Every structure is written in C-alpha cells, then in structure tokens.
C-alpha cells in the first residue's frame, strides 16, 4: 500500500507543516495538496517569507493558511491545534550545521 493510501485510510486529511514558508516546507505543502490533503502552515518567518504561499496557491489552486507563530510559545501552539482538527504534523528542521553550533554551546555546561 502506498503512503497516500495508508494516510487516507487513517482519515488523516489535515496536516500541519512547520516551516511551511521555507523552500522545503513550500514544496512539501504543494505535494501534499496535489495528493488531496488539506494543509496549514506554521512559520514565524524568521528565515522565510510568507509570500511563497502565494506561489503555492498559483501552482495548486488552493490557498494555505499560515500561522505566524513561534512554536516554542505554548499558548500559540495550542491555539493552532484547538482551531484545527489536525491529524498529522510535519516538522521541517533547520540544516544540521545550524544546530551543531547550538549544541557546542550546551557542551560548555
């Protein structure tokens, strides 16, 4: 069974993509929409631009709602899940070299 059929069989129709306004996130959103899923985005736009979702809409014909929030803020994150019956979240991570520099600072403790 293909992944799409598996997800549909689990009634997973609405997916939250974090980092949806970035390069990888926008391509992920376009692919999910083209495969029949409803998608919302959460991106604080610290390294991206919300205008990319307009390009996704031109390609797919569907608009994507973006929540401009920092997911580290608990109340903002909970509000997304309260407003949307999300069945799955896709987390787009920063490149590993950005995290490596942060990990080095933890090693000092």
**Residue corresponding to tokens 């909970």:** 78
Cα-based torsion angle of the residue sequence 55, 48, 37, 82 in order, rounded to the nearest 10 degrees:
-130
**pLDDT tens track of the chain, all 109 residues?**
566 665 555 455 788 899 999 998 999 999 989 988 899 999 999 989 999 999 999 999 999 999 999 988 999 988 998 898 776 665 654 444 444 444 444 444 3
In this prediction, residue 62 carries a pLDDT of 96
Closest C-alpha to 60, from 27, 21, 14: 27
In this prediction, residue 103 carries a pLDDT of 44
pTM: 0.70
In this prediction, residue 86 carries a pLDDT of 75
In this prediction, residue 63 carries a pLDDT of 95
Chain centroid to Cα 22, Å, comes to 9
Closest C-alpha to 69, from 77, 57, 61: 77
Q: What is the pLDDT of residues 5-28, one digit of tens each?
A: 655 554 557 888 999 999 989 999
């Amino acid at each position: 069974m293909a992944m799409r059929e598996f997800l549909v069989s689990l009634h997973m129709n609405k997916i939250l993509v974090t980092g949806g306004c970035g390069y990888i996130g926008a391509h992920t959103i376009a692919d999910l929409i083209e495969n029949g899923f409803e998608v919302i985005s959460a991106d604080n736009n610290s390294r991206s631009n919300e205008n990319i979702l307009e390009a996704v809409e031109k390609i797919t014909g569907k608009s994507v709602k973006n929540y401009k929030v920092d997911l580290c803020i608990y109340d903002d994150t909970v509000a997304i899940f309260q407003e949307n019956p999300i069945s799955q979240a896709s987390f787009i991570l920063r490149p590993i070299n950005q995290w490596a520099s942060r990990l080095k600072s933890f090693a000092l403790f």
